[in-house]
Amino acid sequence: SAVISQKPSRDICQRGTSLTIQCQVDSQVTMMFWYRQQPGQSLTLIATANQGSEATYESGFVIDKFPISRPNLTFSTLTVSNMSPEDSSIYLCSVGRRARDTQYFGPGTRLTVL
Amino acid sequence: QQPVQSPQAVILREGEDAVINCSSSKALYSVHWYRQKHGEAPVFLMILLKGGEQKGHEKISASFNEKKQQSSLYLTASQLSYSGTYFCGTEIPDKLIFGTGTRLQVFP
């Protein structure tokens, strides 16, 4: 199994600002994923972050709004840019060797935008 | 594209059984099941692969019908700790798409 930490655990931000969320894993992993979970809803995949290449974004998510970095096999960041109240959500990272293997989730970052 | 789960919610007494279904409109390579308690991260329960291989929790069983693109999770002799929201995750190449979720509450 993998142990994953996220920072910050929660934040309250003003409209128009940006927030960078960090995801740290205790071992090297091939695939890292970023999800958004709105209150009472399912998990929606934002993007897949692979080391050494650009992130692959899902429909409805764009790099200008959610830039992602993956500088090495244990770390990734997700930035939520030019925030609006609609971005209020929980953001989770997960890791796995492959998509079909067990994915382990970080504790999440609870974001509130005023 | 998002898998549909049924029922949306289940209320049980301790010791009762439940079945949660997951149905996809796309061909599946594998199906994953996770449980999420309020305010916590999802926790892995089981993976079902094409061809019948399963990996996961000893006390939980599941089925995977590749032709019908469906999976079912069987919870027997439920315990209070089973309460939470259950999500199926269907694999399409290189990613998981999570289902709509089923909220399960177990009461004494």
CA distance B100 to B8: 8
Nearest to A42 among B29, B43, B99 (CB): B99
Say how many domains are in chain B.
Answer: 1
Confidence of residue B103 (pLDDT cuts 50, 70, 90): very high
- Which residues in chain B touch residue A35, judged by CB atoms under 8 angstroms apart? 98
For residues A10-36, give the mean pLDDT. Answer: 95
Nearest to B98 among A43, A99, A108 (CB): A43
Judged by CB atoms closer than 8 Å, whether chains meet at B96 and A103 is answered as yes
- Which residues in chain B touch residue A43, judged by CB atoms under 8 angstroms apart? 42, 87, 98
For residues A31-52, give the mean pLDDT. Answer: 92
Supply the CATH number for residue B48's domain: 2.60.40.10
CA distance B33 to B47: 6
**Fold exhibited by the domain A26-95:** Immunoglobulin-like (2.60.40)
Cα B87 → chain centroid: 5
Q: How many CB atoms lie within 10 A of CB B77?
A: 10
Judged by CB atoms closer than 8 Å, whether chains meet at A48 and B95 is answered as yes
Place of tokens 């840019």: A81
Would you kindly state where each structural domain of chain A is located, as residue ranges? 26-95
B51 is written with which tokens? 């061809």
CA distance A31 to B95: 9
Cα dihedral sign, B39-A12-A51-A28: negative
Judged by CB atoms closer than 8 Å, whether chains meet at B2 and A42 is answered as yes
Q: Are A109 and A94 in contact (CB under 8 A)?
A: no
Give the residue numbers in A contacting B (CB under 8 Å), as ranges. 31, 33, 35, 41-45, 48, 56, 58, 92, 98-108
Provide the residue range defining the domain that includes B96: 4-107
Q: Among the ranges A19-23, A29-33, B68-72, B93-97, which has the highest mean pLDDT value?
A: A19-23
| pLDDT 10s digits, B15-34 | 999 999 999 988 888 899 99
pLDDT at A2: 84
Residue A20: which of A68, A52, A75 has the closest Cα? A68
Task: Count H helices and E strands in chain B, helices first.
Answer: 0, 11
Q: Are B33 and B56 in contact (CB under 8 A)?
A: yes
Strands B9-13 and B102-107: parallel
Mutate to test the interface with A, among B35, B97, B100, B103 (most CBs of A within 10 A): B97
- Which residues in chain B touch residue A48, judged by CB atoms under 8 angstroms apart? 94-95
- Which residues in chain B touch residue A58, judged by CB atoms under 8 angstroms apart? 95
Cα dihedral sign, A83-A87-A89-A94: negative
pLDDT at A99: 67
